[in-house]
Amino acid sequence: MRIDLHLGAHKTATTYLRHYWAACSQVAGATAMCPPLNEVRAQLTPVCNPPSVKSAGPAEGERRRQRAVDWLGDWGRRVPSLVLSDENLIGSSERLFAQRALYASAQARMERLAEVLKGYELRIWLSVREYGSFLRSAYCETLRHGPYRPFREAYDHFDLASRGWEYVARDVQQAFPAAKLVCWRYESLDELRAPITSALFGIRRAAMPPVGDRRDRQSLSNLAVELLDDIYRRVGADDATRVRPSVERVISGDGLSPFEPWREAERQQFKTAYEQSLVALQALPGISWLG
Domain edges within the chain:
2-148+161-213+272-290
Higher pLDDT, 231 or 27: 231
CATH class, range 2-148+161-213+272-290: alpha beta
Higher pLDDT, 58 or 140: 140
What is the pLDDT averaged over residues 175-197?
Answer: 96
Sign of the C-alpha dihedral, residues 68, 74, 75, 77?
Answer: positive
Say whether pLDDT at 15 is over 70: yes
pLDDT attached to residue 214: 59
Say whether pLDDT at 57 is over 70: no
Say whether pLDDT at 254 is over 90: no
Q: What is the mean pLDDT of the chain?
A: 92
Say whether pLDDT at 93 is over 80: yes
pLDDT attached to residue 252: 80
Q: How many other C-beta atoms are found inside a 10 Å radius of the C-beta of residue 212?
A: 10
CA–CA dist 159, 110 (Å, integer) = 21
What is the pLDDT averaged over residues 203-224?
Answer: 80
Of 92-106, 154-168, 202-216, least confident by mean pLDDT is 202-216
Q: How far is CA 61 from its chain centroid?
A: 23
CA–CA dist 137, 100 (Å, integer) = 15
According to DSSP, the β-strands at 180-185 and 287-290 are parallel
Measuring CA to CA, how many Å separate 22 from each of 43, 110, 288?
A: 18, 24, 24
Greatest alpha-carbon pair distance for the chain in Å reads: 59
pLDDT attached to residue 113: 97
- Write out pLDDT tens, residues 18-48: 999 999 998 888 799 999 999 999 999 999 9
Angle subtended at Cα 110 by Cα 85 and Cα 171, rounded to the nearest 5 degrees = 110
CA–CA dist 72, 119 (Å, integer) = 11
**Confidence band for 168, pLDDT divided at 50, 70 and 90:** very high
Say whether pLDDT at 215 is over 70: no
Say whether pLDDT at 265 is over 90: yes
Which amino acid is present at 132?
G
Number of DSSP helices (H) and strands (E) in the chain, helices first? 12, 5
**Confidence band for 60, pLDDT divided at 50, 70 and 90:** confident
CA–CA dist 244, 248 (Å, integer) = 6
